[in-house]
Structure 1
Amino acid sequence: MRLAQVMAGARHGGAEGFYERLCLALHAAGEEVLPVIRRDPERAARLRAGGLAPVELGFGGALDLLTGPRLRRVLEGFAPDVTVAWMNRAARFAPKGPWTLVGRLGGYYDLKYYRRCDHLVGNTRDITRWIVAQGWPEARAHHLPNFVADLAGASPAALPGAAPRLLAMGRLHPNKGFDIAIRALALVPRAHLAIAGEGPERAALEALAREAGVAGRVAFLGWRSDVGALLAACDVFVCSSRHEPLGNIVLEAWSASRPVVAAAAEGPSELIADGETGVLVPVDAPEALAAAIRGLLDDPQRAARLAAAGRAAFARDFTEAAVLARWRGFLAAVAPKRQAA
């Protein structure tokens, strides 16, 4: 199949990372893949290193009158069987054509951007149900999960502070609830928390750590690419998000066999069987988060059982092979049927 994958997202993010992984995996599986991306030299370099030839376009705001015609010319020249538009901005620019147009949603987005699409894909069952509830035809709404790299066996990174060590990851944004994790840390004596990520909330979070009296036990690591090493070094992985449509970070922790404590946001609630593959606590509840963390630190055997069950869930449903097979089957099913010569 000839597949165009259109992404106009940010430099960092769960959807952006999965976009790269899926493009490279489809290419390695023998599909002809054209990545079309918002201008980003680092992303383009990673895709080229995997054997792809990305096209970079502007994907600007409402006054961008150039990207639409340029994208149409690129697609007409490549002649894909299927074009996948990732998230709102890409879907807004992606034109209809002789290809099947698929919109891929990683959240509860405004469907006005996807009016030209033939099919929509949600990366959780709840998002897919929500798409149908908005009036989208059920036969053209599909659930396809993400996969993450298998991080088992990584050598531990050198995290600041002594054990026990907690790890949280993600963009420093209010939705991620790192303020809740910091407030919970104040109720978990001796533990150290490392936060891997960057974003607009960093200064406020640093101030909160000082206010809560835990500045000496919180380390802000910035953006890190050694996710496996960070996970290997922690005792408990903490996902304190207020809003988390999926939770790639939960999948990564599972793949690394780390026990997970998560706020019961949308994605973690769908992924985690409470008490079996992790521990769920109410959103915006630092006391409950702290109690769950203390419970795992005080009972290493229970923590190990949860970690093993999470690893099994990852191996069953979220490996590259499992998810790639589902994506390839879906794309083949929705591609236009070619007439025999």
Structure 2
Amino acid sequence: MTTASGEPVGASSLRVAHVMAGAPAGGAELFFERLCIAQAASGLNVLPVIRRDVGRVGRLRAAGLSPRELRFGGQADLLTRPRMKSALCNFGAEVVVAWMNRAARFAPKGQWTLVGRLGGYYDLSYYRNCDHLIGNTRGLAEWMVSQGWAADRVHYVPNFATDFSATAPRRPKEIPENAPFLLALGRLHENKAFDVLIRAMPRLPGARLLIAGEGPQRAMLEDLARQVGVADRVLMPGWADPGGLIRACDILVCPSRHEPLGNVVIEAFSAATPVVAAASEGPRELIVDGANGLLAPVEDHEALAQAIGAVIEDRSLAQRLALGGRISFESDYAPAPVLNAWNDFLRKVAPRTSLLKATA
């Protein structure tokens, strides 16, 4: 379809609201911000509707956006939905994207197309008012269809990650220059399986491991490192800016038991850093074993150590994986291809009247 001037109808002619009621920090929340900012910079008319959060408001406003803040409270919150509907009507929303359960529960029906965007295997009853669903992996989209959603109402649209290729490397002073530097990032939670990675460390005697994150398993992981005799080679400094660490490390390790996507894998791809991961849901979709990373069975610390050791010992393998990861990033997970995928999706699901209006 073309405009009156003969140009293709683009998503920039549409008005899109993104609704986020999540926590101050998290993978989905950070990608929500990046996507809103990138879409607005590309010419899309964007309204972020967010749970009250000073930091998020500041970042969105600094990028030139005007977020609408709402409470998104519990069952007794009777004001958020009508206030959101008023904001969406005043904005003239044509597509509304509800990010995760709470946003989908509050998002009202209207003249717009209502889309639920999921980054995990959530309770789909929260999305019963949605016209379409987005999954950020193909496996997640296939699961939605298996749960009874019509295939033509389910869509795969990937995430893009920050490109760390030009970020200055930052190697912690505690890690000797001649020691292989292993990096893992994420919440210290059972799903991340950092215990499996620590159990792999005795089989990697020269390596140093930094786990950047915080969470409820800190004490257990510190005890485990002492028990298996690697406490002097495992650093756990808490949350840290990932870019410089990813650029400096020799291998990014993602040992997760459960990982719907694995943004850290994509970030390592961007930095041309070799990746070794457990074959959980997301990594096994992102990684072609031996081409852009290595996969080990979930929960298998011996196999994980063997894969890490292979990359440490074989420099040509490390270089091949690094190059393969960068190629994957540029083709599938950089901002440009992902924004194009979002534009294609928006054109597809926007109300017919919106596209007709754009041709006038």
Q: Fold-level match, TM-score > 0.5?
A: yes
- In the other structure, the counterpart of 2:50 is 37
Residues in 1 aligned to 2:50 and 2:216: alpha-carbon distance in whole angstroms: 24
User: Aligned residue pairs: how many?
Assistant: 340
Please say which of residues 75-84 and 130-139 is displaced more in the overlay.
75-84
Q: Indicate the SS of the match to 2:19.
A: strand
- In the other structure, the counterpart of 1:295 is 310
Letter of the 1:182 counterpart: I
- In the other structure, the counterpart of 1:230 is 245
Letter of the 1:223 counterpart: W
Question: Superposed, which structure 2 residues align to 1:57-206 within 5 Å?
Answer: 57-159=70-172, 160-162=174-176, 163-206=179-222
Q: Indicate the SS of the match to 1:3.
A: strand
- In the other structure, the counterpart of 2:9 is none
1:36-55: per-residue Cα shift (whole Å, max 9, x none)?
11222111111111111112
Identity among equivalent pairs (%): 59
Question: Superposed, which structure 2 residues align to 1:47-58 within 5 Å?
Answer: 47-58=60-71
Residues in 1 aligned to 2:56 and 2:336: alpha-carbon distance in whole angstroms: 23
Letter of the 2:260 counterpart: P
Q: Is the 8 A contact 1:13 1:171 kept in 2?
A: no
Letter of the 1:325 counterpart: N
1:46-102: per-residue Cα shift (whole Å, max 9, x none)?
111111111222222333333222222222222201100001111011111111100
1:132-178: per-residue Cα shift (whole Å, max 9, x none)?
11110111110000001211132111323222100001111111111
Q: Please, what TM-score do these two structures have when normalized by structure 2?
A: 0.91
Q: Please, what TM-score do these two structures have when normalized by structure 1?
A: 0.96
- Taking only aligned residues, the RMSD between alpha carbons, in angstroms, comes to 1.3
Letter of the 2:100 counterpart: M
Residues in 1 aligned to 2:147 and 2:301: alpha-carbon distance in whole angstroms: 34
Residues in 2 aligned to 1:212 and 1:36: alpha-carbon distance in whole angstroms: 48
1:163-200: per-residue Cα shift (whole Å, max 9, x none)?
21000011111111111111111221021111112222
- In the other structure, the counterpart of 2:6 is none
1:210 aligns with 2:223: no
Residues in 1 aligned to 2:64 and 2:240: alpha-carbon distance in whole angstroms: 24
Residues in 2 aligned to 1:142 and 1:233: alpha-carbon distance in whole angstroms: 36
Q: Is the 8 A contact 1:150 1:252 kept in 2?
A: yes
Letter of the 1:228 counterpart: G
Residues in 2 aligned to 1:183 and 1:255: alpha-carbon distance in whole angstroms: 28
Residues in 2 aligned to 1:114 and 1:53: alpha-carbon distance in whole angstroms: 26
Following superposition, the deviation at residue 15 of structure 1 comes to 1.1
Residues in 1 aligned to 2:60 and 2:220: alpha-carbon distance in whole angstroms: 35
1:317 aligns with 2:338: no
Q: Indicate the SS of the match to 1:221.
A: coil
Gaps of 5+ in 2: 1-13
Question: Superposed, which structure 2 residues align to 1:247-258 within 5 Å?
Answer: 247-258=262-273
- In the other structure, the counterpart of 1:282 is 297
Letter of the 1:174 counterpart: E
Residues in 2 aligned to 1:119 and 1:241: alpha-carbon distance in whole angstroms: 29
- In the other structure, the counterpart of 1:12 is 25
Q: Indicate the SS of the match to 1:186.
A: helix
Which aligned segments of 4 or more residues in structure 1 are displaced greater than 3 angstroms? none
Letter of the 1:286 counterpart: H
Letter of the 1:38 counterpart: R
Residues in 2 aligned to 1:299 and 1:320: alpha-carbon distance in whole angstroms: 32
Q: Is the 8 A contact 2:171 2:249 kept in 1?
A: no
Please say which of residues 330-339 and 31-40 is displaced more in the overlay.
330-339
1:221 aligns with 2:237: yes
Residues in 2 aligned to 1:259 and 1:61: alpha-carbon distance in whole angstroms: 44
1:213-260: per-residue Cα shift (whole Å, max 9, x none)?
2221111132223x2211111001100000011111110001100110
